[in-house]
Amino acid sequence: MAPVQLAGTAGPLIENHDSLLLDLDGVVYLGPKAIPHAVETISALQAGGLPVAYVTNNSSRAPQTVAEHLQGYGLDVAADHVATSAQAAVAIMQKELAPGSRVLVVGGPGLRAEVVGIGMEIVESKDDNPAAVVQGFSPHVGWQDLAEAAYAIGAGARFYATNTDLSIPTERGTAPGNGSLVLGITNATGVVPTSAGKPEPQLFWHAASLFNSQTPLMVGDRLDTDLAGAVAANMPGLLVFTGVTDAAGVISCLPHERPTFLSLDLRGLLQAHPAPHQQDNLWVCGDARAQVVAGEIQLSQVAPPTRGSEAWLDAVRALCAAVWHEIDRGESVDFTTIPRL
């Protein structure tokens, strides 16, 4: 498969897609607050008949709880339109474990409910001889929980993780995610878990199947989960700059994490997207001109772009195109020379 490149659209981006798959943290809300323009944009798209699914690596809450949370912002959401990493994890466990197996759960009520839902027996200790440990994010997970899981895995229990996000965005900043806690167990046991959530493609395919969607668009704020998962699932992905990823992060991202489109926020779904194009040795988008010379990343523009403006976004697009082109040619790029935006 050819490396992903930034694409363009003649009309509103969403016109080319029959469903929308949305990450939650950093896309729809941040902490307890809805992200500006998110609710209005989603509601407008739904009013026009577009189906929307919510794809989350947060396994601590049940789909109904997630739906009620989103309803609190004024969104029209049903529980069966929420796809969680807990669902993906138990689907794998159901295939690999004997019916009724004992499982030690490290995580929240959403994960526990999914484990019970497939007929497994939840236990609390290594001394209960669990066949498996499954770990999902919960802010209440503590050292004793991680230690008990490590003891069980050391005794032979299989290890599953709903996701391996190293961090999560909150209203106060970036906090450790489930992946950081998973690493604690891996460091103690030497065992790497079978991971079920993003960036594994199964969760994305499951979300698209909720509407029998043929041309879904995934929207996220994280490169290593949302966008890498979209690439793995062979879906176009839109990166929004309302969560954890900044301009330098997307310019220097790995090929398997590349988004197809960039937007300041969800309003980009309703807008046309200019595609960067090559002009001599320059990559051009709007007034922005970018190139890589002897490994150094260079940007020229009519006027310095203001953060959060369309000119700023065009500059990021041009820089992505220039850098990705060099990477795909096998050339070296000095990422310390990324212009400050």
Residues classed as catalytic: 23, 25
Place of tokens 């004793």: 144
Distance CA 105, CA 257 (A): 30
Two structure tokens written together for 143: 């050292």
What are the residues whose beta carbons fall under 8 Å from the beta carbon of 331, sequence distance 6 or more?
292, 295
Sign of the four-CA dihedral 257, 263, 267, 269:
negative
Element (DSSP H or E) covering residue 137: none
Positive or negative: CA dihedral 59, 63, 65, 69: positive
Compute the distance between CA of residue 56 and CA of residue 25 in angstroms, rounded to an integer.
Answer: 8
Amino acid at 67: A
Count of Cβ atoms closer than 10 Å to residue 202 Cβ: 19
CB atoms < 10 A from the CB of 151, how many? 17
Among residues 307, 309, 287, which one has the least CA distance to residue 299? Answer: 287
Helix (H, G, I), strand (E, B) or coil at 127: helix
Secondary structure letter of residue 226 according to DSSP: I
The phi, psi pair for 331, rounded to 5°, reads -85, 155
Q: How many CB atoms lie within 10 A of CB 90?
A: 27
250: tokens are 């997307």
